[in-house]
Structure 1
Amino acid sequence: MTYDSTRGNASLRHEINNSLTLISSRLQLLAARYVFLKEDSDFTEIQNDLSDIQRLLNYDRTARQPQLTLCSLQPLLNELYTSFLPVLHAQHIALYLHIAPNLPAIRADLSLIRQALINLLKNAAEASPDGGQITLSASSDDCNHIVLSVSDTGNGMTPEQQAHIFEPFVSYKTGGTGLGLAIVQSIVSAHHGHLSVKSLPGSGSSFCILLPIPLSPVEKSAQ
């Protein structure tokens, strides 16, 4: 019997991630119980460090081939909205969810799509000031794609920043790892999709994910 180092590393990474998630949850409970902690810079830095470690642990995982299944994105989008709403409300940031009716099913790895959207929502939150707005939306276009977008009213980016924003270890945030958007890019590419950004300094940013909708048997036969 041989030892599968890849599987062993994945298992270890999974266990470490679980422990970090528990620590992060307990920190959130403490912040809810003792409101003054939200104003403590050391407490905030601990939360940021945990988030950075989780991103580093997850970076290699996104290189695997996604486990594609036919699925609806609506439950995932509703879950993310419910999870982020109280957190953003505490930061005085409004969150809106727009899902087009009759959104088509796609073949996707929901755990990876979830990770990509969480990264985009976290980035939007970090870029948004008090009174800002974030919009998570989903629709379909005329080219057989699901269109997922996360838009904010934050600081925005220059064209020079946008040119490098998806490169690993490139960050324009203080203390940032530069892995969040690289992870999103890796996930989207693994789904044969496309990731883009529109942004202007002072006018916010909008990140758009295009994911292919599987063709019906009739459409396949017509090709």
Structure 2
Amino acid sequence: LSFSKSRRLELNNFSVTEVLQKIVSLIAEEAKSKGITLETKWRLSPAVIPMDMNKLQQAFLNFIKNAMESITGQGTITIAVDKENKNYLLVSITDTGCGMTAEEIEKIFSPEYTTKEKGLGLGIPLATEIVRGHGGDVRVISRRGAGTTFEIILPLEKISDKT
């Protein structure tokens, strides 16, 4: 499952907040029907960075869908865009779902691992692969019973191709 080598990223400058807003609009109905509130905090906007829009949108969607699936009953997902430092921006996706243990966090990036009955388990590993393909990284902060935050760090500038 190393897709970054086989599929080149087509990088163009796009707004991260616009891409995320589009996803929020796409899933708003589904979230509402499940009793999930979607909150957005664009502290950095429009946050234009070099990205393969379709792939990064898929990655964000995977993280957000994962957050939705972790919530049983009422809950909130907060999507924030912020500056990480002068070279990177931070997209954080926080849910009030079931949370994970340290062991589960370690496993979540492995393609075979899923807690869903029907799940393929590719959502998070694939999304992480896409983020890393953009020169970024993913951090997870979670406590069992206290929800989870995925922190997606992305470079503000194109990182020269490391050959």
Do they fold alike, i.e. is TM over 0.5?
Answer: yes
Structure 1: where are the runs of 5+ without partners?
1-58, 216-223
Q: Residues 104 and 126 of structure 1: is their aligned pair in 2 closer, same or farther, counting only changes over 3 Å?
A: closer
Which residue of structure 2 aligns with residue 118 of structure 1? 61
Whether the 8 Å CA contact 2:96–2:148 is kept in 1: the answer is yes
Give the alignment of 1:58-97 within 5 angstroms.
63-97=6-40
Are the equivalent residues in 1 in contact too, given 2:84–2:153 (CA < 8 A)?
no
**Higher share of residues assigned helix:** 1
Q: How far apart, in 1, do the equivalents of 2:12 and 2:55 lie? A: 12
After superposition, residues 96-135 of structure 1 pair within 5 angstroms as: 96-135=39-78
Q: Secondary structure at the match of 2:8?
A: coil
Amino acid at match of 2:136: G
Asked if the contact 1:103–1:139 (Cα under 8 Å) also holds between the matched residues in 2, the reply is no
Q: Contact conserved, 1:144 with 1:212, CA < 8 A, in 2?
A: yes
Query: Hey, which of these two has a bigger chunk of strand by percent?
Result: 2
Match for residue 161 of structure 2? none
Partner of 1:214: helix, strand, or coil? coil
**What CA distance in whole angstroms lies between the structure 1 residues aligned with 2:107 and 2:155?**
25
CA deviation digits over 1:152-206, x for unaligned, max 9? 0000000011112101111122232111111111101110101111000000111
Q: Could you say which residue in structure 2 is the equivalent of 1:210?
A: 153
Q: CA deviation at 1:81?
A: 1.3
Structure 1 residues 144 and 89: alpha-carbon distance in aligned structure 2, compared to 1, 3 A threshold:
same
Q: How many residues align?
A: 157
Contact 1:103 1:140 in 2 (8 A): no
The structure number with the bigger radius of gyration is 1
Per-residue deviation, 1:116: 0.4
Contact 1:198 1:206 in 2 (8 A): yes
Alpha-carbon separation, structure 2, partners of 1:200 and 1:153: 10
State the AA in 2 paired with 1:213. Answer: L
Aligned to 1:177: 120
- Structure showing greater relative contact order (alpha-carbon pairs closer than 8 Å, 6 or more residues apart): 2
The answer (yes or no) to whether the contact 2:2–2:129 under 8 Å persists in 1 is no
* Aligned counterparts of 2:108 and 2:116: Cα–Cα separation in 1: 11
Aligned with 2:134 (options 177, 187, 191): 191
Residue aligned with 1:171, SS: coil
In structure 2, distance between residues paired with 1:164 and 1:199: 13
- Matched residue, 1:141: 84
C-alpha displacement of 1:103: 4.1
Matching residue's letter, 1:173? K
Residue ranges of structure 2 left out of the alignment (5+ in a row)? 159-163
Query: Where has structure 1 moved over 6 Å in runs of 4 or more?
Result: none
TM-score by length of 1: 0.66
